[in-house]
Structure 1
Amino acid sequence: MRTLSKPAGLPVFPPHDDAGGDCLLARLLAEEPCRADVTWPVGFEGGVAHRLDTSTSGALAVADDLAELVALRDLFTRKALLKTYVLRSAREVPWNDNLVEVALAHDRRRKGRMVVQRGASTPHRGRWLPARTALTRIGEGLWRAEMRTGVMHQIRIHCAFVGLPLLGDRVYGGGKTPTDAPEGVTFFLHHVGFQGEGVATSPVPSPSWASTMLTGA
């Protein structure tokens, strides 16, 4: 398994409106053309084992062969991997830790958005998906998020639900992206990596916004 360091602003797969556009997969295939000769499952081209939002930077695991991809996907499916993220929030709250355990589903009216289950009659599309996120303050406006589930937009909407929308995440109430945001950053979220059952991603560089806030530089 390889661990790639995905830059913020770079999509994992080609944009829908530009099949030949720059993306992590294109860069991977340019570096390792032999991966194009493998018949990977749809959605896992090149051996890419999972996804990150375009604005999210950080560790992205790539399987070396089909057998390894199957094994990795089994770990994800069984929720055997603990995934760790760092985020910058748009607001402050009086607490330092929070365990958010609320189901998520697709928004019935707005495509590409998720909703939290606030009650039995919450409007949604499809089925409710269990989701659990542990939040810990690690600096002023800086938080660690850990999860084993992996629902679309899980961290973004769980954080918004408890009053901690990600800075710049306009979809979930985080406001506009600051004018001094690093290149490629829309909202501030970084995947540190995952580990479980003897499998772990390799370390990747921390984004400037996280390292600066942690060191106070």
Structure 2
Amino acid sequence: MTEEFKAEYTPGEEILRIDRFLGSRLEQVSRSYLQKLVKDGAVLVNGKPVKSSYKVENGDRIRLEIPDAVEPEIEAEPMALDILYEDSDIILINKPKGMVVHPAAGHYSGTLVNGLMAHCKNELSGINGVMRPGIVHRIDMDTTGVLIVCKNDKAHNAIAEQLKVHSITRKYYAIVHGVLKADTGTVNAPIGRHPVDRKKMSINEKNGKEAVTHYRVLQRFRRFTFVECQLETGRTHQIRVHMASIGHPLLGDQVYGPAKVPFSGLQGQTLHAGVLGIIHPSTGEYMEFTAPLPAYFEAILKKLETD
């Protein structure tokens, strides 16, 4: 794939290095991969290769050659799955902490998809391609809880439409830093890719998409608060970004919160997808599924109660 750009800065705009310039225009490509392409000579500025330190000047013409992606063979792997519900259309999984939902760079085995391929055989929707069979939505690696997977394209389209119109019930449970004063609240702020760190999301008024999170206090502690967050939309890292934006990042979230985690052994954010409610794609009936808080989450709550 070939991409071509002409650098056009507005007065006062920051002059960017070549990797940051390309990253700002190719959100789907990681900065590290762009740096590799620059190093490999796949990026030409005014017809000549440049170093990663090159600062793009106004009027520069940039040509980038991105090699065609080769999708690896994804293999079925028998594994223990915590199945909450299953029929011929859908399967609901209680995803454990540390499990990646679908294969991607660096994670081609041990994912939920690998286990689903072994359990469901060929009965998974193919709309999202060979890397994400059956996957209509996902949750982060270190987020636990309910995830719906579709076994056929009819079910996939039906659930995808419910996600699009925000009719699905999704309630998450989290422990956040600080003590929330209000019992309930709503964060309504658009979320988009972070302007500098492309691996992060941020409140982005200019280029972000609508994002709405409703929260409710369940229990207050001396330095933390246990909350329920209900999603009206489903943006990447939505709860993590929204709660951090109001000064209450999630406990354990080293991306959007403090770098130091006050609980030893805690892996990632304390976030659990506890409730998922859908209209069944075949029967048309409303169904709601719940997943209990994982043991690590309960243990932290008990520790906070006695703190």
- Return the TM-score normalized by structure 2: 0.61
Tell me the residue number matched to 1:35.
123
Superimposed CA distance per residue, residues 177-204 of structure 1 (whole angstroms, 9 cap, x where no aligned partner): 42142xxx31110001222444435222
Highest RCO, 1 vs 2 (Cα 8 Å, sep ≥ 6) = 1
State percent identity of aligned pairs: 21
Structure 1 138/174 Cα, relative in aligned 2: closer, same or farther at 3 Å?
A: farther
Tell me the residue number matched to 2:95.
6
Whether 1:84 aligns to 2:164 is: no
163, 186, 194: which is aligned to 1:107? 194
Work out whether residues 95 and 146 of structure 2, in 8 Å CA contact, stay in contact via their aligned partners in 1.
Answer: yes
Distance 1:95 1:166 in 2: 17
Structure 1 143/44 Cα, relative in aligned 2: closer, same or farther at 3 Å?
A: farther
Give matches, 1:54-93, under 5 Å. Answer: 54-93=141-180
Superimposed CA distance per residue, residues 78-113 of structure 1 (whole angstroms, 9 cap, x where no aligned partner): 111121000011222322221111111111110121
Distance 2:212 2:157 in 1: 24
Whether 1:179 aligns to 2:264 is: yes
SS at 2:123 equivalent: helix
SS at 1:176 equivalent: coil
SS at 1:172 equivalent: coil
Unpaired runs of at least 5, structure 2? 1-89, 280-284
Whether 1:161 aligns to 2:241 is: no
Distance 2:150 2:120 in 1: 12
271, 281, 293: which is aligned to 1:189? 271
Tell me the residue number matched to 2:216.
136
Work out whether residues 100 and 107 of structure 2, in 8 Å CA contact, stay in contact via their aligned partners in 1.
Answer: no
Distance 2:118 2:165 in 1: 32
Shift of 1:44: 7.5
Superimposed CA distance per residue, residues 5-56 of structure 1 (whole angstroms, 9 cap, x where no aligned partner): 100110001241242x2111111111222236x6332387331221000000
Distance 1:17 1:162 in 2: 33
Distance 1:64 1:193 in 2: 21
- Return the TM-score normalized by structure 1: 0.84
Larger Rg: 2
**What is the root-mean-square deviation in Å for CA atoms of aligned residues?**
2.4
Work out whether residues 90 and 174 of structure 1, in 8 Å CA contact, stay in contact via their aligned partners in 2.
Answer: no
Work out whether residues 104 and 129 of structure 1, in 8 Å CA contact, stay in contact via their aligned partners in 2.
Answer: yes
Unpaired runs of at least 5, structure 1? 121-126
Distance 1:68 1:35 in 2: 12
Residue type matched to 1:200 in 2? M
SS at 1:49 equivalent: coil
Aligned length: 205
Residue type matched to 1:158 in 2? H
Structure 1 207/54 Cα, relative in aligned 2: closer, same or farther at 3 Å?
A: same
Work out whether residues 90 and 175 of structure 1, in 8 Å CA contact, stay in contact via their aligned partners in 2.
Answer: no
